A and B are shown apart, each in its own frame.
Chain A
Amino acid sequence: MIRTIGSSTLCVVAEFGGIANFAVLSIYEFCCQRRRLAKWVLAVHEIGVRCVPIVAIVGLFTGLVMGLQLYYTLARLGAEAALGDAVALSLIRELGPVLTALMIVGQAGSSLASEIGIQRNDEQIDALQTMGIDARGYLVGPRLCASFICFPILTACFDLIGIFGGYLTGSVLLNVDAGVYWNHVFSSVQFADIYGGFIKAAVFGFLTITICAYRGFYTHLKSSSRGVRGVSESATRAVVFSSVAVLAADYLITSFLI
């Protein structure tokens, strides 16, 4: 019994160590490679540009719903004017980084895990290795470096679109004065809120992309099934683990920032 606890603890610790090692080596090897900019641009396209539509749509609807919900709650207290504060602060501090990260995991993380998993199964990763190209540096490094840029940028888009969504329901549909709404948005948000949101976004980016790539890269060691099933299992696990990691990290960072 005690041995089981001990061995599983060691397993978990080793897994975390392995993931951290994997991430650091990927970035290091990427820095040693050629054509870094070209690879980085492709990775930004994959993680950033292709996620813009989904992030924009989710951001807009989140803002719309928050405008609606908060309006009726605040109206009971007679504080409709505070709608701007409520929408802007909750988006910038919490919902923006978290929902953006979850959307990117759904869009880019799952495809990343399955793509690398298939390349592993097809021996393409071994082929890279025999050519003297480090597969981590080639496949994972550029994406990790891109995630540091893409997550904060997409979070910023999400925040702005969400605040605009709150304006649409709050001012256009319901009767909060537009000037009051925007004035409250501008006066309530502090630089610390924005800064905290971006820190969260960057950390989530690093975490999720690392987890997805790691699951894909070691799909032959970590999955209980082989072949195509192994890859699909890896993709599922990658999404589940990254989503949990995002929420857990969110709690940790929030408690440190407050």
Chain B
Amino acid sequence: MNKRKIEMGVGCFILLGLCAVLYLAIQLGGARLLGGNTYQLKAQFSSAAGVNAGSRVEISGVRVGTVASVELDSMYFALVVLELPRSIVIDEDAIASVKTSGLIGDRFIELSPGGSDSMLNDGDHIYDTIPALDIEDLISRFALGGLESKGD
């Protein structure tokens, strides 16, 4: 019957459509349905150039989380808030460094897990940080022989 056909069509449309919407939102947009599944760590950098909210956080080259926000703290340091899933546990003496993928690619945060026994909890600071490598500075130092003079 015609009415049945219409109802079937509408049913399929709504179901598949909602799947498409959810796929977009969750898979592509990274929306979290369960908010309580992550925790945040803070890290202070002297330079976080090129790191934005949404940048990757990697451990050994594997993406594990994202940067939630980048702010300036009272000491004029860059305060980067990292968002990690609860399953990834970071030790107290972990090192956070700003890395670049390729020579001029995206900036991301690399975490090197430490070996200490005490774990970092939600809101804790990572004290050991390595700031962004300033390539221009590096090149100019290399070209003008600044590297040697520093070695003296």
Contact = CB atoms under 8 A, between A and B. Distances in A.
Direct contact of A and B (CB under 8 A): yes
Q: Size range of the interface on A?
A: 20 to 34
Q: Size range of the interface on B?
A: 20 to 34
A126 interface: no
Contacts of B24: 92, 156, 159-160, 194
A49 B25 contact: no
Interface string B14-41: 1001101101110111110000000000
A103 to B, nearest CB: 15
A48 B7 contact: no
A158 to B, nearest CB: 9
Contact of B7 (A41, A152, A185, A194): A41
A160 B17 CA distance: 11
B151 interface: no
B9 interface: yes
B13 A186 contact: no
Contact of B21 (A42, A88, A152, A189): A152
B17 A194 contact: no
Q: Is the interface of B mostly helix, strand, loop or mixed?
A: helix
Contact of B10 (A48, A88, A195): A48
Nearest to B17: A153
Interface in B52-103: 54, 56
B132 to A, nearest CB: 19
B21 A191 contact: no
B10 A41 contact: yes
Interface string B110-134: 0000000000000000000000000
17 contacts: A41-B7, A44-B13, A48-B10, A48-B13, A48-B14, A88-B28, A156-B17, A156-B21, A157-B20, A160-B20, A186-B27, A189-B29, A189-B30, A190-B29, A190-B54, A191-B29, A191-B30
